[in-house]
């Protein structure tokens, strides 16, 4: 028996109940993991709250979360790559990480290299692999590109700023407060913009001599998407990879994309980019190298006991956090 944060009916943070949660023996292709640290992501709040998401939430009762690090405690039939005692990490569904112990498919799991810290990796597995595919595959950032990153001091934002700077990009990043502007600047954001004080589209225009950004990474959604499109250069790419302020209004491909300059828009999601085992391994190895090389720090600024996950969700949804949050079983 393990304890977990169980959601019996989708709703606000206190829809999660800390209770006993049975974990059967691992089935074929599954590994049983005892978590050492669990990453908290905004997507967990969508799943818990019933907000639409590319990965639909299974029927209740359900345990949310899909980022974690731990030790293998047992393996099911047909698992050959993992053994009891292995340090492992994952950052894609199926859901169920807000638990002391869980079963997880071996084909979505990776070994954790020695020397990497459990909490760093728990905070970076999902967000770091996301930053990798956004910066290398959704749009391949080139040295000299100007890029726009929203919520630049958030968990994802600080990672994007660090990695994009290392790639040689000029980063314009939006935030809600001066304190967050400082955090974004420290992570490599060249031009932090407090959204309530300045138009970020104008700042991008100034920085690029009127041309516009090569790409915008917009996970705010409803409140920012239109102005994000206004910030792009012709043929620029809008990666609408989240919607913390709510799902954006529908996009008209003629007016919104065509008339603004043959823009591209996509709603990318991590599970599609690492669905193939070869992509998962390549992306995880690139992430581990970036951590080992000192390019990325997860900025784990909030650590909660797993039993206090409700508080972690309240804080994240308040929009006041800087950097990443992990849960410790
Ligand atoms: N598609 C993918 O593959 C993928 C993978 C990982 C994450 N994501 C998305 O990335 C986004 C960020 O995730 P995260 O876990 O790193 O969260 P986070 O950025 O640490 O927290 C969200 C931030 O969004 C900003 N925000 C703006 N309007 C908000 C509102 N109405 N309510 C709450 N926050 C608001 C706040 O920053 P300011 O105060 O500076 O505005 C807040 O700190 C989420 O949308 C998530 O779904 C997508």
Residue 139 has a CB neighbour count (10 Å cut-off) of 21
Taking the centre of ligand 1 as the mean of its atom positions, its distance from the CA of residue 171, in whole angstroms, is: 17
Q: Is the peptide bond before 94 cis (omega within 30 degrees of 0)?
A: yes
**DSSP type of residue 293:** T
The structural domains of the chain, with segments of one domain joined by +, span 2-124+271-328, 143-267
Question: What is the DSSP pairing of strand 68-75 with strand 30-40?
Answer: antiparallel
Options 2.30.110.10, 3.30.1280.10, 3.40.50.720, 3.10.150.10; CATH for 143-267 is: 3.40.50.720
Torsion of CA 129, 130, 131, 134, to 10 degrees: 120
Q: Say if CB 133 and CB 284 are below 8 A apart.
A: no
Per-residue pLDDT of the chain (329 residues), as tens digits, is 799 999 999 999 999 999 999 999 999 999 999 999 999 999 999 999 999 888 889 999 999 999 999 999 999 999 999 999 999 999 999 999 999 999 999 999 999 999 999 999 999 999 999 999 999 999 999 999 999 999 999 999 999 999 999 999 999 999 999 999 999 999 999 999 999 999 999 999 999 999 999 999 999 999 999 999 999 999 999 999 999 999 999 999 999 999 999 999 999 999 999 999 999 999 999 999 999 999 999 999 999 999 999 999 999 999 999 999 999 99
Which residues neighbour 40 within 8 Å (Cβ) at sequence distance 6 or greater? 65, 67, 302, 304, 309, 312, 313, 316, 324, 325, 326, 327
Taking the centre of ligand 1 as the mean of its atom positions, its distance from the CA of residue 220, in whole angstroms, is: 6
Model-level pTM?
A: 0.97
- According to CATH, the topology of domain 2-124+271-328 is Quinone Oxidoreductase; Chain A, domain 1 (3.90.180)
Question: Would you report the helix, strand and coil content of the chain in percent, each value rounded to 5?
Answer: 35, 25, 40
Task: Report which of 321, 204, 211 is spatially closest to residue 193, judged by C-alpha positions.
Answer: 204
**DSSP type of residue 150:** S
Spell out which residues line ligand 1, taking CB within 6 angstroms: 41-43, 126-127, 130, 151, 153-157, 175-176, 180, 219-220, 223, 241-245, 268-270, 316-317, 319, 321
């Amino acid at each position: 028996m393990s304890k977990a944060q169980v959601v019996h009916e989708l709703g606000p943070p206190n829809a999660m109940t800390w209770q006993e949660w049975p974990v059967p023996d691992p089935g074929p292709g599954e590994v049983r993991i005892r978590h050492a640290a669990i990453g908290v992501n905004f997507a967990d709040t969508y799943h818990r709250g019933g907000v639409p998401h590319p990965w639909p939430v299974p029927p209740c009762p359900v345990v949310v979360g899909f980022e974690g690090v731990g030790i293998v405690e047992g393996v099911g039939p047909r698992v050959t790559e993992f053994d009891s005692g292995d340090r492992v990490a994952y950052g894609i569904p199926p859901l169920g990480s807000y638990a002391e112990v869980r079963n997880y498919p071996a084909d979505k799991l990776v070994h954790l290299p020695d020397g990497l810290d459990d909490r760093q990796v728990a905070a970076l597995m999902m967000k770091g692999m996301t930053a990798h595919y956004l910066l290398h595959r959704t749009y391949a950032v080139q040295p000299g590109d100007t890029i726009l990153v929203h919520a630049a001091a958030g968990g994802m934002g600080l990672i994007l700023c660090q990695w994009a700077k290392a790639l040689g990009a000029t980063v314009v990043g939006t935030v809600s407060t001066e304190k967050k502007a400082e955090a974004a600047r420290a992570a490599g954001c060249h031009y932090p913009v407090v959204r309530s004080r300045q138009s970020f589209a104008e700042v991008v225009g100034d920085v690029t001599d009127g041309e516009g950004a090569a790409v915008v990474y917009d996970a705010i959604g409803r409140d920012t998407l239109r102005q994000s499109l206004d910030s792009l250069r012709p043929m620029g790419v809008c990666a609408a990879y989240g919607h913390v302020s709510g799902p954006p209004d529908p996009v008209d491909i003629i007016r919104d994309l065509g008339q603004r300059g043959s823009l591209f828009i996509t709603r990318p999601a991590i599970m599609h980019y690492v669905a193939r085992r070869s992509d998962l391994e390549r992306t995880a190895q690139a992430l581990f190298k970036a951590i080992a090389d000192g390019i990325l720090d997860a900025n784990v600024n909030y650590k909660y006991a797993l039993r206090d996950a409700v508080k972690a969700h309240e804080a994240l949804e308040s929009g006041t956090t800087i950097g990443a949050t992990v849960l410790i079983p």
